[in-house]
């Protein structure tokens, strides 16, 4: 899943990119709905933020805690700066021709097409992660949107200019005072995510050249000696082109258990924290927990206890962390990684 926000695009006299602000045409205006709409966003009520989102420099200012912020990236979505579309169907009044349209219904296909042009995610389980990792490797791959808000405006919308009657600060004060979940700022913010595309660099899949992210693609399955006859397969293998190949272990659906989430309010010991995950094939799995701490003036993830391994079956299952360490307040990352496969990490916070 990739959350896409909308911006208002300004071009220079030479028709090149000049600037972008958060799209807010007063669609949330409660005094006469004259506006065309506004970029969406907000904190998820169901999903935790992955480590690659919570690792952004100003995540604590967003105001979502450990919940996922919806928007990952943005593109032009304001109908006042949108895309030109030719409508060949004649209306009852006899009109047809060119019109400018917008909305995140325009921004989303723009982002999807850029992923396609860059070669697709190529096996990355969560393509949104590429945006965050590539930005870290190549900051110039995205335009940072630092102005605007998608908050509610209580003043009249300026239809002639397509602008909200409120300042960005007023929009934010009405909807998210003191938080960046609805106010643009330098770095990650709720309305625009990591920014808007500047070429294809932000969408490059692993191993595609410059700007390569820290992610690594799943290894190519290798033929298995003594494979069963064509049309059959053995546990941990799949059939491709008549030959059995080893299935790559992949962890998915990693989460803390309900009991663990409740324990986070009381500075729990590691042994009080249970977690659940799904594994596609049996594999040896390694589990580690790290805390986000300041080391030599920089924030880094530091492992807080010795990682442990166990043999896991395929399917959904639950385990507990090991160790008597009591967790002080802070941000933590749980990683479950199968040998030779693709792991998952989640970030949680002890209140």
Nearest Cα to 351, choosing from 333, 332, 330? 330
Asked whether the beta carbons of 131 and 56 are under 8 A apart, the reply is no
CATH architecture of 251-350: Sandwich (2.60)
The full set of domain ranges for the chain reads: 4-203, 251-350
Specify the residue for token string 């593109």: 75
pLDDT value of residue 309: 92
Tell me, what DSSP letter sits at residue 290?
E
pLDDT in tens, 52-63: 898 887 898 999
- Rounded distance, CA 157 to CA 35, Å? 6
Q: In the chain, how long is the greatest CA-to-CA distance?
A: 76
Backbone angle region of 23, left / alpha / beta, with phi > 0 → left and psi within -120 to 50 → alpha: beta
Sequential pLDDT tens for the chain (351 residues): 799 999 999 988 888 899 999 998 764 443 344 455 788 889 998 889 988 898 887 898 999 999 999 999 999 999 888 888 888 887 777 777 888 888 888 999 999 999 999 888 777 878 898 999 888 878 889 999 999 998 888 777 777 777 777 888 888 888 888 899 999 999 999 999 999 999 999 998 865 544 333 333 334 334 434 433 333 333 444 444 444 445 888 888 888 998 888 888 888 889 889 999 999 999 999 998 988 888 777 777 888 878 899 999 999 999 999 888 889 988 888 989 898 888 888 888 887
Class of domain 4-203 (CATH, top level): alpha beta
Alpha helices in the chain (DSSP H): 51-54, 59-62, 104-117, 128-137, 168-175, 258-263
- Rounded distance, CA 316 to CA 236, Å? 16
Task: Tell me the whole-structure pTM to 2 decimals.
Answer: 0.58
Q: Phi first, then psi: give them for residue 96, nearest 5 degrees.
A: -160, 170
Quickly count: other Cβ atoms within 10 Å of residue 252's Cβ: 15
């Amino acid at each position: 899943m990739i959350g896409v926000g909308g911006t208002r695009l300004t071009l220079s006299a030479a028709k090149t990119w000049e600037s972008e602000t958060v799209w807010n045409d007063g669609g949330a205006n409660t005094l006469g709905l004259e506006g065309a709409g506004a970029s969406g966003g907000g904190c998820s009520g169901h999903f935790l933020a992955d480590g690659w989102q919570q690792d952004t420099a100003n995540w604590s200012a967003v105001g979502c805690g450990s919940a996922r912020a919806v928007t990952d990236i943005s593109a032009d979505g304001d109908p006042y700066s949108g895309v030109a579309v030719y409508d060949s169907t004649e209306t009852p009044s006899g009109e047809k021709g060119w019109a400018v349209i917008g909305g995140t219904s325009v921004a989303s296909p723009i982002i999807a097409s850029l992923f396609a042009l860059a070669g697709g995610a190529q096996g990355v389980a969560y393509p949104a992660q590429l945006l965050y990792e590539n930005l870290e490797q190549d900051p110039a791959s995205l335009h940072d949107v630092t102005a605007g808000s998608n908050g509610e405006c209580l003043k009249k919308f300026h239809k002639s200019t397509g602008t909200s009657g409120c300042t960005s600060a007023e929009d934010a004060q009405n909807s998210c005072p003191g938080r960046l979940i609805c106010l643009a700022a330098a770095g990650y913010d709720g309305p625009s995510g990591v920014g808007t595309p500047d070429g294809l660099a932000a969408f490059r899949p692993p191993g595609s050249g410059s700007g390569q992210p820290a992610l690594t693609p799943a290894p190519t399955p290798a033929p298995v000696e003594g494979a069963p006859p064509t049309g059959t397969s053995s546990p941990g293998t799949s059939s491709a082109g008549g030959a059995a190949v080893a299935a790559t272990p992949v962890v998915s659906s990693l989460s803390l258990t309900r009991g663990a989430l409740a324990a986070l309010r009381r500075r729990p010991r590691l042994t009080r924290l249970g977690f659940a995950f799904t594994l596609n094939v049996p594999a040896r799995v390694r589990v580690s927990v790290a805390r986000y701490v300041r080391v030599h003036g920089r924030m880094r993830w530091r492992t807080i206890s010795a990682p442990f391994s166990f043999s896991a079956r395929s399917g959904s299952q639950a385990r507990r962390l090991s160790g008597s360490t009591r967790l002080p307040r802070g941000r933590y990352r749980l990683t479950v990684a199968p040998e030779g496969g693709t792991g998952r990490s989640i970030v949680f916070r002890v209140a």
